[in-house]
Amino acid sequence: MEPSENRDFFRRIVAMAPMATGGNLPYRRLCREYGAVRTCSEMVLAHKLVKGGERPLLRHHDLETDFGVQLAGKRPEVMADAAVIAVEAGAAFIDLNFGCPIDLVVRKGSGAALLRRPRKLAAVVEAVRKAVAVPLSVKIRLGYSQQEINCVKVAPLAVAAGADAVGVHGRTRSQRYRLSADWSLIDEVAAAVAVPVIGNGDILTCWDLEKRRRETRIESFLVARGALIKPWIFAELKAGRPLDPDVPGRWAMMRRYFELACEHFGDDEKGLTRVKRFFLWHLGFWHRYYRWTREDFLAAAPSSLLQARNPHPPADPMQQLLASADPDDHQLIWQRILDKDHPSG
Ligand SMILES: Cc1cc2nc3c(=O)[nH]c(=O)nc-3n(C[C@H](O)[C@H](O)[C@H](O)COP(=O)(O)O)c2cc1C
C-alpha cells in the first residue's frame, strides 16, 4: 500500500482495542458478529515471538478480515523481525505497544517505559516501518506519569519515523483507570500530527462517541472495556443509539461465546476447562452491564459511566443474577449455560 492508503486504513474507524485475555480469538469473533470490523491480537512479546513462542496469539478467524497484531518490545531489530513474522501469519496491520503499564513489561524497558525514551521509541517504529509495508499504528498514553506528559512530543516523532496512525489512551501509565480519560490532550495530539489519531478511553455508550466527535477533531476510536461489558457496542456505536438486548438476548450472547470458545479451545475435558476459565473471566465484565440512559450519561458527566456506580440496581431476580459480582453466581450462570437451562433470545 502507498503511505496515504496506509493512513486511510485508520481513518474514521471504531475498532476493538488490543486486550490481553479479553481479546481472545472467540471473543473477537463474537464482537465481529456484533459489528466490530477492526480487531487486534492480544499483546505479543516480540522477543518471545522471534524465538518461536507466542504463535497462538497470531491466529485469527477468517471472519476477521481487518485483523492486526500488536507487538511489544524495545529492540528495533527484534521488533522488525517480529513484525515480519506477524505479517507472514496474516496480520493486515501492525500496532506497536508503547502504553503497557504492567510492571513486568515496563521494568524490561518496553511498553510505557518507552514514553520516557522517545528517540528509542522512534528507532523501534523506524525499524518496523522498514521491515513491513502493511499499515502501522502506535499506541501511546498521555505520558509516563502526570509529571511527564509528553504525548504531543512523542506522537510527531513516531509519525516522522513512519507510523501511519497514533492511538492515544487518554491516561498516564501511573494513573491506571483511576481518573477519566483526558480527551483534550488526545485532541492536542491530533492537532500536532497529520495522520489519523485514534482516541481511546471510556467509550461505553453512543453518547460518549457523539460527545468526543463533537468536542474534538478525533474521527477514529478504540474501544476496550466497553466491548468487554457489551460486545454489541460496535453495532450500537454505528447505529448511534442504544441497542440494549433483553434478558434472553443476554443469555443468547453468553451462549454464543460458549459455542465459539468450544469451537476454538475444544469441548473435550481439557478444552472445557479453558472455556470455563475464559467464560468466568468474561463474566467479570459482562455483569457490569446496565441499560444506561442518556440521563445517566449526563448525570455522570464529566466522569464516564465506567467510573460511576450502577445508577439503578435491578429488582428482577434474573437481572440481579446477571448483574451479580459474586463468584458463586458466576458459577451458577456457567452451570446453566452448560445445562442449556436458560431463556434464549
Ligand atoms: C483486560 C484488558 C487488557 C488489556 N490489554 C492490553 C494490551 O494487551 N495492549 C494494549 O495496548 N492495551 C491493553 N489494554 C488497554 C486497552 O486497550 C485500552 O487502552 C484501555 O482499556 C482504555 O480503553 P477503555 O477505556 O475503552 O477501556 C487492556 C485493557 C483491558 C481492560
Instruction: Give the pLDDT confidence of 136-146 residue by residue, as tens digits.
Output: 999 999 999 99
Separation of CA 300 and ligand 1 centre (Å): 22
Q: Please, which pLDDT band fits residue 345 given cuts at 50, 70 and 90?
A: low
Q: Which neighbouring-strand residues pair with 137?
A: 95, 165
Q: Please, which pLDDT band fits residue 302 given cuts at 50, 70 and 90?
A: confident
Averaged pLDDT of the chain: 96
In this structure, the residue with its CA closest to atom 21 of ligand 1 is 224
| In the predicted structure, residue 176 carries a pLDDT above the cut 80 | no
| In the predicted structure, residue 2 carries a pLDDT above the cut 80 | no
**Kindly report the CA angle at 56 between 30 and 78, in degrees rounded to 5?**
125
Phi, psi (deg, nearest 5) at residue 171? -140, 165
Q: What is the pLDDT of residues 18-70, one digit of tens each?
A: 999 999 999 999 999 999 999 999 999 999 999 999 999 999 999 999 999 99
Domains and CATH numbers, the chain: 3-239 (3.20.20.70), 247-290+313-338 (no CATH)
Q: Report the nearest atom of ligand 1 relative to the CA of 222.
A: 26
Which amino acids bring their CB within 6 angstroms of ligand 1?
A: 17-22, 42-43, 70, 97, 99-100, 139, 169, 200-203, 223-226
pTM, rounded to two decimals: 0.97
Q: Report the nearest atom of ligand 1 relative to the CA of 227.
A: 26
Choose one of 171, 186, 225, 286 to mutate for the ligand 1 pocket test, by most ligand atoms within 8 angstroms of C-beta. Answer: 225
Q: What is the pLDDT of residues 194-238, one digit of tens each?
A: 999 999 999 999 999 999 999 999 999 999 999 999 999 999 999
